[in-house]
Structure 1
Amino acid sequence: MSLRKLWTAVRGAANEGIETVADGQAIRILDQEMREAKKELQLCDENLTRIMAKRKLAEGKVKALQADIETYTNHAIAASEKGDDALAVECADRVAELETTLETEQSILDSFLTSEQSLKSNIAKAKGNVRRMEQQIEQVKATESVQKAQVAVSTRHMGANSKVKTALSSLDRIKEKQAQRNAELEAAEELANEESGSDLDAKLKAAGIGSNSNTAKGNDKLAQILAAKKAK
């Protein structure tokens, strides 16, 4: 291999290692970003809660002012109908003051309502984005785990096949050694039989020679016994 090819291979392996580390860092960075985003959303929810509380107070003030305006307007009409113009004008002045205050409080209420609606919309969008990002991160993690498992299984399978082949080769060698040992033992036994003469006896027995010597002696002895009895 040339130095250029060797350098290319080394650089490629280094780049793969760097990319693997960077990918792992990317997942951790996204996890951290998600945790920080959730904290910010929690703060947003708290701010929204405070704004909603202030909006409710503003609504209460507006409703109270509207009720007072209606009350003093009725008083002004009643006083005028009774001919008490001074009292009617005083009630009308009170109505004017209340309407000015109502205008201010209504402006505050409208501001709270606008902020509340805007926050609700933005928080809902942000939560949706966080959920989608979490789903993508979990999907990436799950895919990564599955692929790692597949690689591990594939590697083990290849290793297992290699081990099985090695084991079969070893088994064949063991069988050959055992066959060789059996042949050696049989040869040793044959040699021992030849040296002791048992091999010759076996051959004579197989040929039917000398195998009935005891029986033959018994027949000869019986013939002698019977011949002796007749002689008497």
Structure 2
Amino acid sequence: MLKTVVTLFRGKAYEAEERLADRHALAILDQQMRDAALAVERAKKTLALASAQDKAEERKLDATRAQIAEIETRAVAALKAGREDLARKAAENIADLESDATAAEKARALFSVEIKSLERHLRDQSARLAELERGRRIARAAEAVRVARRGRLEEAPCGQSTLSEAEATLARLRERQAEACAAEAALDDLDARDKAQDLNAVLADAGFGPPVKPRAADVLARLKEKAGAA
């Protein structure tokens, strides 16, 4: 029973970890790429340091060889002059310098191998980092599209509106604006009609054209006419 509970707990923890990783995948990717970029920078600095040390060994080797050549020239001159004692001291010095030169050559050989390895590693890491950067841009664009379409595929987070909801709000707003415009137009039309009727009434009262609405004098005349006929 205990083993089952432990297994269940581990399964739930794994699911929670997976959900957290999925929810924050872009943030995790960003941090991982920052870490990778720092590693590439460290590799560049290591390569630069190795190259500088190799150059230093090269200069040291060149100086040692030049010193050996100079001492050999002087030692030969000493032998020609019968100063074997000086030539022997020169030979001892040359032997020490040749040991230094051999050590420098070995160091340069090691640096050469290390530098080539670092250069291959740096090219590989830089290429992979560039590919990751392209992939991240694509992932960000895809995530933006997914968020924009979230209302169609999944429920939006609490408090966050979807694109469809925004479109519905805009449609309602436009409908209300259209109704308001129609009402304003109707009021303007009524005002225009009232003004026209008032003007027609003034003109009719002045004797121009038929009356706009029944007048008491006209009604009285009609009544008198009917009474006379009776």
Q: Using structure 1 for the length normalisation, give the TM-score.
A: 0.56
2:27 corresponds to: 28
- Relative to structure 1, the CA distance from residue 128 to residue 208 in structure 2 (aligned partners, 3 Å threshold; closer, same or farther) is farther
Say yes or no: does 1:145 pair with 2:144: yes
Q: Residue 131 of structure 1: CA displacement? A: 2.2
For the residues of structure 2 that align with 1:211 and 1:66, how far apart are their CA atoms? Answer: 149
When you count helix as a share of all residues, which structure comes out higher? 1
Q: RMSD of the TM alignment (CA)?
A: 3.9
8 Å contact kept, 1:204–1:211 = no
Q: Residue 155 of structure 1: CA displacement? A: 4.6
Say yes or no: does 1:68 pair with 2:67: yes
> 1:56-100: CA deviations, max 9, x gaps?
322222111111111122122222333433433432332222112
- Give the partner amino acid of 2:96: E
For the residues of structure 2 that align with 1:59 and 1:158, how far apart are their CA atoms? Answer: 75
1:156 corresponds to: 166
Say yes or no: does 1:209 pair with 2:219: no
For the residues of structure 1 that align with 2:218 and 2:18, how far apart are their CA atoms? Answer: 86
For the residues of structure 2 that align with 1:211 and 1:72, how far apart are their CA atoms? Answer: 158
- Relative to structure 1, the CA distance from residue 25 to residue 86 in structure 2 (aligned partners, 3 Å threshold; closer, same or farther) is same
Counting aligned pairs with the same residue, the percent is 23
Q: Residue 209 of structure 1: CA displacement? A: 0.8
Q: Which runs of 5+ in 1 are unaligned?
A: 1-17, 179-200, 213-232
For the residues of structure 2 that align with 1:117 and 1:211, how far apart are their CA atoms? Answer: 129
8 Å contact kept, 2:21–2:28 = no
Q: Residue 21 of structure 1: CA displacement? A: 5.2
For the residues of structure 2 that align with 1:143 and 1:90, how far apart are their CA atoms? Answer: 78
For the residues of structure 2 that align with 1:204 and 1:54, how far apart are their CA atoms? Answer: 124
- Give the partner amino acid of 2:35: E
Q: Residue 167 of structure 1: CA displacement? A: 5.5
Q: Using structure 2 for the length normalisation, give the TM-score.
A: 0.56
- Relative to structure 1, the CA distance from residue 104 to residue 167 in structure 2 (aligned partners, 3 Å threshold; closer, same or farther) is same
- Give the partner amino acid of 2:108: L
Q: Residue 36 of structure 1: CA displacement? A: 1.5
For the residues of structure 1 that align with 2:81 and 2:43, how far apart are their CA atoms? Answer: 56
